[in-house]
Structure 1
Amino acid sequence: MSDELATEQVDPGQVDTEGLDAAELALLKSAGAPAPGPIPFPQGFRSGFACFVGRPNAGKSTLTNAIVGEKIAITSSKPQTTRRIIRGVVSRPDAQLVLVDTPGLHRPRTLLGERLNDLVYETWSSVDVIGVCLPCSQRIGPGDEYLLSEIAKLPKRPKLVALATKTDLVGPERIAQHLMKIASLEEKLGIRWETVIPVSALTGDQVDIVVSELMEHLPPGPPLYPEGEVTDEPTETRIAEFIREAALEGVSEELPHSIAVVIDEMVLRADRPKDKPLMDVFASIVVERESQKGIIIGHRGERLKRVGQEARLQARELLGMPVHLSLHVKVLQDWQRDPKHLNRLGF
């Protein structure tokens, strides 16, 4: 790739920030870019945004983590696990891809659900390409077709890449049948696939192909993040998500939606030597009813202890130092339906 910087306004070596939204301008600013105005960048360089869509358990967050090469999004068998916009960054010599992991589109039953759906539509309208995750282990059904029909209604329709995920769970014959079914959706729904890629996030099979294909459909532009940065997610938020992920496992269908986590304080232990640091993390697990509090704590506190152990291991790996994690459970009555509670919890 040439290191020569472009100077022509209409050349692919330059980008004009006039058409960017607030989030994209903020990203450019965080990368050290002047605003507004053209930003010089190496000839042929591409940058932009992509997101994955699909039904619950379609492998969206798992694929995001596999592509980024680091766990930035929690995974769970529970629907609507993802609640925030999480950005992962993949940098190559000739391109930078920003992967946006979003909540799943669903029929909202609470104010929180309505706000999450709003985030989804906003993201779909702002990305350059959407990867549609269609697991080989599941039949394509009305839920998949509904998602695609909603995307087709967007005023600014992103490019679509079909991803036949979870190829590790089925045999070659089933994969071939699934790919044919995916191809038939073009005529049925009036959409156009740029390509169809079978992929396994678990084994890594064809993950690099997915990255290359997504980057191929990005517009010319400068890097949006510094080289080496994999996410703009704050450390405290990532640790809160580790705790929530551990708390989600083994609970009933309704309880996962009622769980939120807040980091109350995170500070280095003052009396420790510099070569043996210890991070103290104090966090609250928030539920909506007193009965749910008992479920999270468990018999003699055993369940809460297990949640702490699992989350602490991930926090230690992230921070690169030992972590003392102190958890307590509190009740915010019907927080999913209360605007004040939602604002306090960052929604």
Structure 2
Amino acid sequence: MKIVVACDSYKGCMYSKEVAQHIENGILKQNPHHEVWKYTIADGGEGTVSAFCDTCGGQLIEVSTVDAYMKKIKAQYTLIDQGQTAVMEAANIIGLNMYPREKRAPLFACSYGLGVVLLDAVKRGVKKVIIGLGGTATNDGGMGMLMALGVRFFDENHKPLPAQALSLEKIHYIDFNRMHKMNVELIAACDVANHLLGEQGATHVFGKQKGLYPNQIKKIERGMENYRFQLQRYLKVDINTFEGGGAAGGIGAILIGMLHAKMVPGIKLLLGYSNLEEKVAHCDLVITGEGQTDKQTKFGKVPVGILTVANRYHKPTICISGALGLGYQDLYELGFIGLFSISDRAMTFQQALDNAPAKLEAATFAIINTIDKIKHF
């Protein structure tokens, strides 16, 4: 068989390239005569830079910046299209998984570091910047990113405010005079359609997973409302009107509403640079997967993006994921012929992470063995 393997990363466990390699190992252990075509895939979150670099033969650029808590780090983005396009991801600059759960402090996290990397790319003379917005630790509405671009925020006493979620409700004055001019095409790679505010907005939907408590969510939502009001007062733009504005703790709203970025699903962007569709057209089986497959997967996640391509060519597609969550059965209606979890017994979360590579190879071996045996009946 000719098999296309195109999976998202298993968040906090394995990158997309590693997932594909372990799946290939499982396939070839069962039958070394199968031909495997592997692809590094991402949807705008963790691994986006690596995926574009591998797919396009990009050049990695290292830049000094700061993480979500203003600690100095080195981050990477990639140049593609002969250096005319930069691809960066928020997840490797201000990412949620850069700190263990017990050390996350979303009230103080900010997006300043992403703005630093964006400026570095612009100063290199690129014509386009693709920014992957998934997996951020921040909920500052892009305030930090704006400060890195030269915007200054002040409280009612004209004292400068630090870039953090706690500052949002204190903003009374904004100075745009030193804001850097962004003469580039901006693309926000994201699968989120949420607006900035409300019950389906950035804070209410994503705040808990970033570490906000219920009483803090209400407080930061009030801050976001003030932030939106102050920006509208100065710029005559309502940043709550845009689909995707709730991405990355509100960074999406700033990119779309202020910097005129276009929001595009990350998987759609990447596939536009890849020959994956051509390979799918000539394969016998497609394998995709992600860390956890559940009812959210159908809303633009990698497995459904890959399935959409496979369905065009009537290719059987299976999904092998770290876990299967609530509502995963609904995905059978989209066309998957099989949805599998690599977990084979009860274990702690840490044990699941530690054993994932071996479990993935074993699950793949079993699945391919079943397919091969059925074909011989």
What is the TM-score with the length of structure 2 in the denominator? Answer: 0.30
What is the TM-score with the length of structure 1 in the denominator? Answer: 0.32
